[in-house]
Amino acid sequence: MTRSAATAVTTALSALALLWIIALLARDDPSLTGAPLGMAAWWGTAVTLVLQSVALLWGRHQVTATLGCVAGLCLVLAAVFPSGLFTVTALPVLVGAFLAGLTGAWRDVCRWALASGVLVSTAHFVNGSADGRTGGWGLVMQALLQAALVVGLPLLPASVIAAQRATRAAQQETLAAVTRERDAKIGEAIALERAAMARELHDIAAHHLSGISLMASVVARQTASAPGEAHSGALEIRKQSNAILDDLRRLVGLLRDVGHQDEGVKTLATLPHLIATARLTGAQVDFDLRSDERRKPGAGVSLLGQLAAYRIVQESLTNASRHAPGAPCVVTVDDRDPRTLRITVRNAPPGPQARPASRGTGYGIIGMRERSALIGGSFGAGPTDDDGWETRISIPRESGHHLPEQFT
């Protein structure tokens, strides 16, 4: 059962129950209805109440016009069967006025409420005149008061509820728009970050393939006296390497920014230069390298992993200078674990006289998380116990993957 059907049925049952109670009371006090009434008046009132409730049901799409229809049925009953039972018909009018104020347009509600008020006051006047209560201006005032109470009073709470609903709907629409805008900005930030990673991936792949091509050419020269099949295979390696390099440049080069100039592939070995550059801007940055003397720092970590670590440290230092200017910062590279390289960038809270930048968008963290996911690492960032900030990244080592020293 729909809400409108439930409202109509409840209104009909309530009105008929009220009419039945009046009938029971009228047995002991016939003056309750003003005068003894025949069955026609009772049945006429019951039919009117049912018709009013049906009008509420069928008018679920035109609630304002339904109010006028319900009020018009009151006038019909007053003209055909005037009696003290007329007052019961006010209940469906009350419900109709409330529904109109709750769901109807305010301009239509005002127009139909005025028309319904005229119908209700006219019906009350007609019923009172035919019922023998000819009080002149007193009856007119009663009719106007009846219209104000039956039609005007329910509109007050209904209009308040309707206004609250409209406010909530506007807030939800605004929130949805803000969410869409935020998602669009996040998508744009991720796309830009992935484009940057594509540029850097191109440089790394070019670095590897250039080395392969160089090695193949050396092999070709060194195997001049070897069987011809080995010589041809070496030349084929060089040919295929150059072809892959050209194809990769054409494919990924579409994502490169015009005029972009890269200073070269960034690795863990270039972190000290990055920190020195940050110090030149006045930042207090310390570098703590915890390495295993048995192997070279960063051994087993791919160039892509080292590049991701470099970019994350770079972004973390930028965020520290923006949100905690003047605060000491420590970059820790823990290279002692044989399976994982861990890097931590931790900055203290800003000083009392510092003016940190406005709250960021969070896109930098999204980019760092994207980079970490690209290399299969784990990323974490958040406030510290002393109200500072810490960024953490763990990069797995690629066992068995070691480039010759001259190509790293």
Quote the pLDDT of residue 403.
38
Distance CA(218)–CA(12), nearest Å, equals 99
Confidence of residue 405 (pLDDT cuts 50, 70, 90): very low
Of 79, 82, 72, residue with least CA distance to 51: 72
Per-chain mean pLDDT for the chain: 76
Beta bridge pairs of residue 223: none
Task: Express as a percent the part of the chain with pLDDT over 70.
Answer: 71
Distance CA(108)–CA(260), nearest Å, equals 63
Of 74, 318, 303, residue with least CA distance to 200: 303
Q: Residue 78 in contact with residue 130, Cβ under 8 Å?
A: yes
Q: Residue 121 in contact with residue 144, Cβ under 8 Å?
A: yes
Query: What are 128-186's pLDDT values in tens digits?
Result: 777 655 557 777 788 888 888 888 888 888 888 888 888 888 888 888 888 888 777 77
Q: Is residue 67's pLDDT more than 60?
A: yes
Query: What are 94-115's pLDDT values in tens digits?
Result: 888 888 888 777 777 777 788 8
Question: What are the DSSP E strand ranges found in 169-280?
Answer: none
Q: Residue 92 in contact with residue 53, Cβ under 8 Å?
A: yes
Confidence of residue 343 (pLDDT cuts 50, 70, 90): very high
Q: Is residue 7's pLDDT more than 70?
A: yes
Reading the block at residue 133, the tokens are 């209560």
Q: Is residue 348's pLDDT more than 70?
A: yes
Beta bridge pairs of residue 393: 343, 379
Per mean pLDDT, which range of 236-245, 303-312, 379-388 is the poorest?
Answer: 236-245
Q: Is residue 275's pLDDT more than 80?
A: yes
Query: What are 213-272's pLDDT values in tens digits?
Result: 666 766 666 666 656 666 665 666 666 666 566 556 555 554 444 444 445 567 888 899
Domain layout of the chain by residue ranges: 3-176, 187-255, 268-407
- At the topology level of CATH, where does 268-407 sit? Heat Shock Protein 90 (3.30.565)
H/E element holding 340?
strand 340-347
Quote the pLDDT of residue 333.
92
Of 150, 17, 163, residue with least CA distance to 95: 150
